[in-house]
Chain A
């Protein structure tokens, strides 16, 4: 077996939290020194025990993380927020140092922890393209060679010499991603960047990334909350929890374990401050949850039961022609359907300023039993995205007590609708 592209051995990363950790001002540093001296004196004279370790606390963002990534392998890194995924990527990208352990990387690495890092609003698209390319490690010759391809991919030909500050958020993201997608490293490290842009462009990016790995034989390490994307892209997944590896293996299995572990936000996701796409200032998405018909929050329903998807959002300026809704996907990312409130004729028009609550009744006896993800989604069709959830709430449709379709033979197909049958013997 050839040597792995990445060998990770016993990686640990400690952050010191608390006041004396990283003195952010000179005064703190001086005060800290003084305190240290005083407590040393105190210890000498037998007074003031324990003052030395006063206000600091160690926090291990990662501990004993070990795994190999083979050449050409596409590995998804999953786990809830704060599990250490981003820290691991930062260490791999050499942005920060591990506290313990060592990593051996064989091949040119490009890491993409954010789309459009270093974009400057005052510069034109062309200028930013060169700057961002250089930041990501491309040489000028390389950028020039791929210039046309990048511009065509991003669909911004007409606005190349416009300052980026006048770009729509969609154009901005498209240009930024196009540059990143044209990197040609042997090892590509990607963090959450697919959560941006409209759905068509996302598909294009996923496709481009799949090409990168399958046709060009590159190694990809991919972090996402989006189980669908992980499932589509990665053959193998590593599941991190509390800074340790909790699962490692076939994506399908690891994802299933992860989703059923309760580690994921079930049934409900809240953004108390509101969220929206970059540059959107008239719309804030607040929450999505699933409830039964009595309004009780739940994440599991009988497969034949109707249930409600509840969406809350706030409109800050009168908003026309928007649609707010959700996507339902299987855990391996296949979209079952999407639904929008624009199906109701009176929602289509101007939305007033204020808080809104939408309830959508999803009929039972429609889908297969199993786990599903529901992603909030809002946009002004063909114009701009308002909000696109990176992570979905998990729903389990339980087939055990249904009165149809649950015989000994599993039924085929993506959906399992209960249909009307009549029978005659003419």
Chain B
């Protein structure tokens, strides 16, 4: 990241009107001005998380590794679901990457304002910086796993193709869904602390209604319904990019996922902006 000019320079006519119910005219510009804070908060969360853990950043890898083994066992060995031409663990891992990205971002965003309550009540910054920094942390975690999974995948004989270059597209898709859902949960958690208890449930359910441990084409009767889950398209996309296997992308499903994801993000931003002005009063 390039160091930016001091704030004063890019804001010559620096006038602010403070008024009840005033939609901030410079909302997005303001958010951009605070992008360094976003980065510092993410950095803080990463450093602090591993500072007192003996295994340190190892946890970023152990968690998905264990989940991969578990899901491979349950779906691949017990339920004997077909894996197509990719090894079952790789199938699971490719699905787990976006799922972990989503669930970490969602979880982190949900608690981001509560855990920064001190800041919210004492300092002004665009409130969206907090959930966004949770997103950055999740992204970094995924990058670590992705990097470490590469040699394992090669060992399983999974060789990347040109499709790998389309992966960022699906990462962005995953972030859109995560941010949309994250903004909802963030705003709701500030208002109703109940959502701290609801979040784990939602994630547990999500793990099963998202085709992480199985392939969606194995359960055709549910396929239409599952396609309404915007993560379905993302997971399929990840598999399509990472495993040179026989994952088939269905355009209609992608459009559905994209559309629902965009709707989620749009409504999330709307609800967040509607409620954020009162955060300091209720937090």
Q: Would B20 and A131 count as touching, CB distance under 8 A?
A: no
| Complex interface residues of chain A between 123 and 137 (CB less than 8 A to chain B) | 123, 127, 130-131, 134-137
Q: Would A111 and B6 count as touching, CB distance under 8 A?
A: no
A136 to B37, CA, bound (A): 9
Per the CB 8 Å criterion, the residue count for chain B at the interface is: 45
- Chain B, Cβ-Cβ closest to A117: B122
Q: Is B4 part of the binding interface, using a Cβ–Cβ cutoff of 8 Å?
A: yes
Per the CB 8 Å criterion, the residue count for chain A at the interface is: 50
B18 to chain A, nearest CB (A): 4
Quick check: which of B178-186, B213-221, B243-251, B273-281 contacts chain A, the rest being far away? B273-281
Q: Would A123 and B48 count as touching, CB distance under 8 A?
A: yes
Quick check: which of A18-26, A252-260, A311-319 contacts chain B, the rest being far away? A18-26
Q: Is B205 part of the binding interface, using a Cβ–Cβ cutoff of 8 Å?
A: no
Q: Is A381 part of the binding interface, using a Cβ–Cβ cutoff of 8 Å?
A: no
| Complex interface residues of chain B between 26 and 50 (CB less than 8 A to chain A) | 34, 36-37, 40-41, 43-44, 47-48
Q: Is A351 part of the binding interface, using a Cβ–Cβ cutoff of 8 Å?
A: no
Given known pairs A90-B280, A114-B122, the reply for A106 and B44 (CB within 8 Å) is no
Q: Is A142 part of the binding interface, using a Cβ–Cβ cutoff of 8 Å?
A: yes
| Complex interface residues of chain B between 91 and 141 (CB less than 8 A to chain A) | 116, 118-125
Given known pairs A26-B194, A131-B44, A139-B3, the reply for A15 and B17 (CB within 8 Å) is no
A25 to B194, CA, bound (A): 6
Q: Would B5 and A139 count as touching, CB distance under 8 A?
A: yes
Q: What residues make up the interface of A, taking CB atoms closer than 8 Å to B? A: 15, 22-27, 29, 90-109, 111, 113-114, 117-118, 120, 122-123, 127, 130-131, 134-137, 139-142, 144, 184, 186
Q: Would B18 and A92 count as touching, CB distance under 8 A?
A: yes
A99 to B3, CA, bound (A): 38
- Chain B, Cβ-Cβ closest to A97: B277
Q: B119: which of A15, A104, A118, A123 is its contact (CB, 8 Å)?
A: A118
A27 to B197, CA, bound (A): 13
Q: Would B3 and A97 count as touching, CB distance under 8 A?
A: no
Q: Is B80 part of the binding interface, using a Cβ–Cβ cutoff of 8 Å?
A: no
| Complex interface residues of chain B between 1 and 21 (CB less than 8 A to chain A) | 3-8, 11, 14-21
Q: Would A137 and B7 count as touching, CB distance under 8 A?
A: yes
Q: A122: which of B52, B120, B122 is its contact (CB, 8 Å)?
A: B52
Q: What residues make up the interface of B, taking CB atoms closer than 8 Å to A? A: 3-8, 11, 14-21, 34, 36-37, 40-41, 43-44, 47-48, 51-52, 116, 118-125, 191-195, 277-278, 280-282
A272 to chain B, nearest CB (A): 25
Q: Which 6 A-B pairs have the closest CB atoms?
A: A141-B3, A26-B194, A103-B18, A94-B124, A26-B192, A102-B19
Q: Would B37 and A134 count as touching, CB distance under 8 A?
A: yes
Chain B residues, CB < 8 A from A118: 116, 118-119, 123
Q: Would A131 and B40 count as touching, CB distance under 8 A?
A: yes
Q: A22: which of B52, B120, B121, B281 is its contact (CB, 8 Å)?
A: B281
- Most chain A CB neighbours (cut-off 10 Å) among B20, B41, B278, B282: B20
Q: Would A93 and B123 count as touching, CB distance under 8 A?
A: yes
